[in-house]
Amino acid sequence: MKLDKPVTGGPCWTELGTSDVAAAQEFYEGLFGWRAETDPRQEAGGYTVAHLGDAAVAALTPLYQEGQPVAWNVSFAVRDADAAAVQVTEAGGTVLVGPMDVFDVGRFAVAADPTGAVFQLWQARSFPGAGVLSAPGALGWVELLTRAPERAVEFYTTVFGWSVNASEHYTQWGIDGDDFGGMLTMDDKFPHEVPAHWLPYFAVVDVDGMAADATEAGGTVLMEPTAVPDGPRIAVLRDPQGAVFGVYRAADEK
């Protein structure tokens, strides 16, 4: 991700919805060196913010709805959550929750694109999103995995105005020339029951070491560390509660 701070239309935050916040906190603090703080207000519902130093970088939350999967979610910054929700619907997506206010920090909505991938819209007020991006331990890339790439391109370019940098093997999303994410077409290697989804990647210093540390802490390596042609070294991991995330070597970023 070339972005080092949230910008309109780009990824600004990532949240983990998990069945065991305390266990997830221990796991990710051990991997990334995060320091977690839980909002003590009852109405906050156990919302826990992870920090690198003084910078907020991600959140851990309980599962708020019946049937909600254990998963990482990605938020995109918008100027007006209500207007963006209308755009989502007009472009063929679905608004699942909201828009609604979150105390005085912002306004958000949860939506799904026409291919089934869920994401969030974030209209900042006092909280703009991640205090740091693309640094080791912070969100560094977001990837859409979908079975209908053409429909996804049509939707996201309409809603967010993203640029599309497509090669034979991979499509990248960008804003004003700064690529922040990509798209992977789900083929027969993906089980049918795995829906389209957004996958966050965190920047790290050592991908191989991170994969080993995750395994030792009870996680699983889904994709072994590998060097992407003309790209970084990456791995895809799963935490002990079942949430999937990626890591990439920050030093490889161009």
Quickly state the pLDDT bin for 176 (edges 50, 70, 90).
confident
CATH class of 139-252: alpha beta
Q: According to the model, what pLDDT value does residue 151 have?
A: 97
Mean pLDDT of 188-194: 89
β strands within the chain, DSSP E: 11-18, 35-38, 48-52, 55-62, 71-77, 94-102, 106-112, 118-124, 139-146, 163-166, 171-175, 178-185, 197-204, 220-227, 233-238, 244-249
pLDDT band at 200 (very low <50, low <70, confident <90, very high): very high
Q: What is the pLDDT of residues 60-82, one digit of tens each?
A: 999 988 888 999 999 999 999 99
139-252 shares the fold of 11-124? yes
Please report the pLDDT score of residue 233 as a whole number. Answer: 95
User: Does residue 1 surpass a pLDDT of 90?
Assistant: no
Q: What is the pLDDT of residue 166?
A: 85
Average pLDDT, rounded, for the chain: 93
Q: Say if pTM beats, i.e. exceeds, 0.75.
A: yes
Q: How confident is the model at residue 253 (pLDDT cuts 50, 70, 90)?
A: low
- What mean pLDDT comes out for the span 119-134? 96
Residue 139's pLDDT is 97
Summarize the confidence of residues 135-146 as an average pLDDT: 96
Res 169 pLDDT > 80: no
Q: What is the mean pLDDT of residues 190-194?
A: 90
**Residue 204 reports pLDDT greater than 90:** yes
Is the pLDDT score of 154 beyond 90? yes
For domain 11-124, the CATH superfamily is: 2,3-Dihydroxybiphenyl 1,2-Dioxygenase, domain 1 (3.10.180.10)
CA distances from 129 to 57, 230, 240 (A): 8, 30, 26
Domain ranges of the chain: 11-124, 139-252
pLDDT over 60 at 3, yes or no:
yes
